[in-house]
Structure 1
Amino acid sequence: MDLKDATQIVLIGGGQAAAQAVQSLRSGGYEGGLTLVGDEPALPYQRPPLSKAYMKGEFAEERLYFKPAAWYEDNKVELILSTRVEQIDRTAQCVHLEHGGTLNYDALILCTGSRPRALPARGADLGGIHDLRTLADVERIRPSMVAGRRMVIIGAGYIGLEAAAVARQMGLDVTVLEMADRVLARVTSPIMSAFYENEHRAQGVTILTGARFDHFTGKDGHVTAAMLADGTELPADLVLVGIGILPNVELAKDAGLTIDNGIATDRDARTSDPRIFAAGDCASRPLVHYGRAGRLESVHNAIEQGKLAAAAILGAPRPAEDCPWFWSDQYDLKLQIAGLNQGYDEAVVRGDPETRKFAVFYLRNGTLIAVDAVNSPPEFLASKKLIMSGAKLASGVLADTSTSMKDIAAAAATA
């Protein structure tokens, strides 16, 4: 469907995908009505610093905003904040707001994001137990981030480990509980898991893997301990729950859009309704470098899908589709990830983990599909290109640090 004559575009959500789509639409020449509806009071903002510099107080709130308020005014973008959308009426091409208003649209972009997975446990409603997803969450947590206090983190994914690093740097006593037999089990290899477990333990974090959490205890409505199934009691002044996220697909599902581990989209971020697009954590998209569909929880994905949706509405050429990439900052370690390692049959280590500067390459049938690079930007940058080209590489070549990644990439390009 050609939407180049659209005169009113509505976006639902105030995160990275929505901010990028708005910017791409205006920079691409769209001059019609543009309305962004967000359920938080803040201007659209970036989330990654929340569990890092912002939690430590090293990052002012204004620096989180993608654009200042004046930009939206100058570019005639109407912001409707602190407001939830209750319903999408596809027949009437309008959305119903929680306070009774409606907004008509010619094109609609769903950037509804995701929410923390709830912990189904007795005592989970006690004070002092937190999620970490929004600015408001950090504002609730920060007053308790006091040196000497005891923090229990449930879940050893990126959010949990990033928060553990910040808490230790702020002088808290930190214990991380992980149900799996290793940290980062869902996203990386045993090699990388072991490295990060060792690093956190060296920094004073207690990590309990294979831990079966049971319930919380409290006093006067506030948490006092996390209890394991074997009866172990872990005293806690505050708790952070980081056991994953769920895509916010309810609006789309109620509107009859196709859902498949997220709002199903095509390569242009278009849903099963040609006037409706979806971008970011809420969307499932074709992973063109891997021949399957999937949902990606990353800044890169949100930016890229925001650009794709805007281009499709404008009738512009489809922007380039990069291979997925992610990052995580813990202490002075920057982990940069390119690609998706699911289904790898060989892991190759380049460099020495003891130096805290190394990379792990993941191959499937000799083809590079992903890399985890710790404090190693050349390995990350070269691998992005190699993954997108479908390069086949010998493990010995990748492991040989006497040959630069630039030379390895150049040789692969001429092979």
Structure 2
Amino acid sequence: MGNQQHVAIIGGGLAGAKSAEELRAKGFEGAISIFAAEDHLPYERPPFSKDYLQSKSEFADALVHDGQWYQEHEISVHQNTRVVSIDPEAKTLATEAGEIVGWDKLILATGSAARRLPLPGTDASNVYYLRTVEDSTNIRSHFGKGKNLVIIGGGWIGLEVAAAARAAETNVTILEGAAAPLLNVLGPENAAVFAKLHTDHGVNLRTGVKITELAVEGSAATGVMLAGGEVVPADAVVIGIGVAPEVQLAESAGLDVENGVLVDAALRTSNPEIFAVGDIANQAHPVLGHRVRVEHWATALNQPAAVAASITGQPTEYTELPYFFSDQYDLGMEYIGNAPNGSYDKIVVRGDAGSLEFLAFWVSAEGRVLAGMNVNVWDVVDDVKSLILSGRSVDAAKLADPSVPLGEL
């Protein structure tokens, strides 16, 4: 691609910033523009449910790059600029302010939006969803001794917020509709580990509950009402019931959309000039052999390198396995692979889950390892990854035996 080429990137998160960075690293000399809906330079989101939420880090620490870096690399960042439409035929995009911008290649990195809870009272002033730095700052302002925080949803975000709030001695209640937190993600055995972790740290974990509305006085919520009439008192409420991919732009541009934006192994959409990265990319994964969409930091970090390679003339498939991590209290965990409900036969545990130092493996009926999770056990991800990629059947007894090195399975 020559100097006259322009790559437009829609999305001001980690995936957008890394796309620009990787294009320059791979020698692209044309114009690069990032369109960021928020009035910030692109930033990473994990700190806002972790260190920033616990006042252990500053917002500047979450920036992918500072302003000077973008200047030095001749990358235009249009902050507070929402793109409202794409015209694939004319190769233009339109901003909310009415500006029309031409492009030669387009990268969609629009990310996800928090799923809204459609119940009365959820629009109260002290009810929050966690997606932005401002959300995190607002939630943090309700932490402290004697304050009651109610979290609706026992997923990763809900549990990480609970851990941060308890570190500040906040009274925390988690309301979860399922029988255990993370049940669909981790299965009952591992879900029980996380449930106990939180109750051991003083969280009032309520599972199997049905919420009917939020009690509101004036403009503020005062509690969460359960079916049956009980009201759980709250000084603030955080709703964490998952996210939905931001696909409206792609859909209106005529791209193929289904549970995200459909992309091939090289992250190219149904329009060969448009790519999608991060949360929105529903990829035909060349290693897993099926489609997968991953809403985690590592995907936003790593996918842009493959896209930048393809744009600069080296068609490249994205082959990394899904990966995510979480930190809660004194528990640190990593998960690699892909084992959705119904895909695995059993979960094999190596070590003692009760001691919070163990590995868990999701194993198919044929004995293949589909995914692995390490809890407070480090430097094993590469070995677990090798097991998954090998595709071979593994003896479950050896898999569970800590004396058998993973590399020998």
Pair in the same fold by TM > 0.5 = yes
Query: Which range moves more in the overlay, 347-356 or 156-165?
Result: 347-356
Opposite residue 354 of structure 2, the aligned amino acid is E
Task: Quote the residue 1:369 is aligned against.
Answer: 370
CA distance in 2, matches of 1:51, 1:391: 37
Could you tell me which runs of 5 or more consecutive residues in structure 2 were left unpaired when the two chains were aligned.
Answer: none
CA distance in 1, matches of 2:4, 2:162: 47
The within-5 A match list for 1:129-140 is 129-140=127-138
Alpha carbons 2:307, 2:316 under 8 Å: kept:
no
Alpha carbons 2:2, 2:30 under 8 Å: kept:
no
Query: Which range moves more in the overlay, 377-386 or 392-401?
Result: 377-386
Opposite residue 360 of structure 2, the aligned amino acid is V
DSSP-derived class of the 1:377 partner? coil
Task: Quote the residue 1:394 is aligned against.
Answer: 395
The within-5 A match list for 1:117-136 is 117-136=115-134
CA distance in 2, matches of 1:252, 1:355: 46
1:4 Cα deviation after fit: 6.8
The within-5 A match list for 1:35-74 is 35-74=33-72
Alpha carbons 2:154, 2:181 under 8 Å: kept:
yes
1:5 Cα deviation after fit: 7.4
The within-5 A match list for 1:127-276 is 127-276=125-274
Opposite residue 347 of structure 2, the aligned amino acid is A
DSSP-derived class of the 1:398 partner? helix
> Sequence identity, in percent?
37
Alpha carbons 1:322, 1:388 under 8 Å: kept:
no
Q: 2:29 aligns with which of 26, 31, 51?
A: 31
CA distance in 2, matches of 1:74, 1:336: 35
DSSP-derived class of the 1:144 partner? coil
1:252 Cα deviation after fit: 0.5
TM-score (norm 2): 0.97
CA distance in 1, matches of 2:139, 2:401: 45
Task: Quote the residue 2:357 is aligned against.
Answer: 357
CA distance in 2, matches of 1:178, 1:287: 32
Could you tell me which runs of 5 or more consecutive residues in structure 1 were left unpaired when the two chains were aligned.
Answer: none
1:108–1:369 CA distance, 2 compared to 1 (3 A): same
Alpha carbons 2:114, 2:242 under 8 Å: kept:
yes
Over residues 162-200 of structure 1, what are the superposed CA-to-partner deviations in whole Å (9 max), with x where a residue is unaligned? 000110111100000111111102211111100010110
Opposite residue 52 of structure 2, the aligned amino acid is Y
1:80 Cα deviation after fit: 0.3
DSSP-derived class of the 1:329 partner? strand
1:326–1:383 CA distance, 2 compared to 1 (3 A): same
Task: Quote the residue 2:347 is aligned against.
Answer: 347
1:155–1:189 CA distance, 2 compared to 1 (3 A): same
Alpha carbons 2:36, 2:79 under 8 Å: kept:
yes
Alpha carbons 2:42, 2:64 under 8 Å: kept:
yes
Task: Quote the residue 2:405 is aligned against.
Answer: 404
CA distance in 1, matches of 2:131, 2:322: 21
1:106–1:356 CA distance, 2 compared to 1 (3 A): same
1:49 Cα deviation after fit: 1.0
CA distance in 2, matches of 1:227, 1:289: 46
CA distance in 2, matches of 1:4, 1:325: 35
1:17 Cα deviation after fit: 1.1
Q: Is residue 2:105 matched to residue 1:104?
A: no
Alpha carbons 1:15, 1:46 under 8 Å: kept:
yes
Alpha carbons 2:266, 2:307 under 8 Å: kept:
yes
Alpha carbons 1:6, 1:106 under 8 Å: kept:
no
Q: CA RMSD in A?
A: 1.3
List, as ranges, runs of 4+ consecutive aligned residues in structure 1 with deviation greater than 6 Å: none
Alpha carbons 1:93, 1:104 under 8 Å: kept:
yes
